[in-house]
């Protein structure tokens, strides 16, 4: 199900129309892939949520705002171990960021020969660090 969005009357410049076209295109792609979508025109801008609700399971959700921030939320299966939850989350993160697994466990010193000055935090949130934020 896709719900209509109603733009504020003062948001009719070309840049605003392009943002609306982009968000509607994203919405259409999600809907074409079986997600239920809802595009909201809030004071802060457009927000899109897309929900996948397979029968008998809890929903997974994707949230997108007009600035490019994307969030993916899901429920781990009941009884999943810490290792299973971590592995699933890390696979998703690697798929999103194309990140190479870090061979050094969290909290351990860098491996010999590894130049940590080039390590970066990768996010999909523009204006708050982004792909060039240093760890």
Domains of the chain, residue spans: 1-75, 81-102+116-135
**Per-residue pLDDT, 31:** 95
**Mean pLDDT for the stretch of residues 31-39:** 94
Do the beta carbons of residue 20 and residue 42 sit within 8 Å? no
- By CB atoms closer than 10 A (0-12, 13-18, 19+), residue 40 is middle
State yes or no: pLDDT of 84 exceeds 60: yes
Residue 60 CA to residue 63 CA, distance in Å, equals: 10
What's residue 11's pLDDT?
56
Phi-psi region of 48 (alpha: psi -120 to 50; beta: other; left: phi over 0): beta
Q: In angstroms, rounded to a whole number, what is the distance separating the alpha carbons of residues 117 and 99?
A: 16
């Amino acid at each position: 199900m896709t719900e209509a969005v109603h733009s504020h009357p003062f948001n009719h410049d070309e840049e605003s129309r392009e943002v609306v076209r982009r968000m509607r295109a994203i919405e259409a792609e999600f809907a074409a892939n079986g997600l239920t979508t809802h595009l909201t025109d809030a004071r802060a801008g457009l927000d899109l949520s897309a929900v996948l609700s397979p029968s008998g399971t809890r929903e997974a959700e994707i949230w997108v705002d007009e600035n490019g921030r994307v969030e993916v939320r899901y429920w781990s299966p009941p009884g999943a171990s810490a290792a299973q939850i971590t592995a699933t989350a890390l696979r998703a993160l690697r798929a999103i960021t194309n990140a190479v697994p870090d061979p050094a466990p969290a909290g351990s010193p860098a491996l010999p020969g590894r130049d940590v000055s080039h390590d970066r935090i990768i996010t999909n949130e523009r204006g708050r660090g982004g792909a060039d934020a240093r760890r």
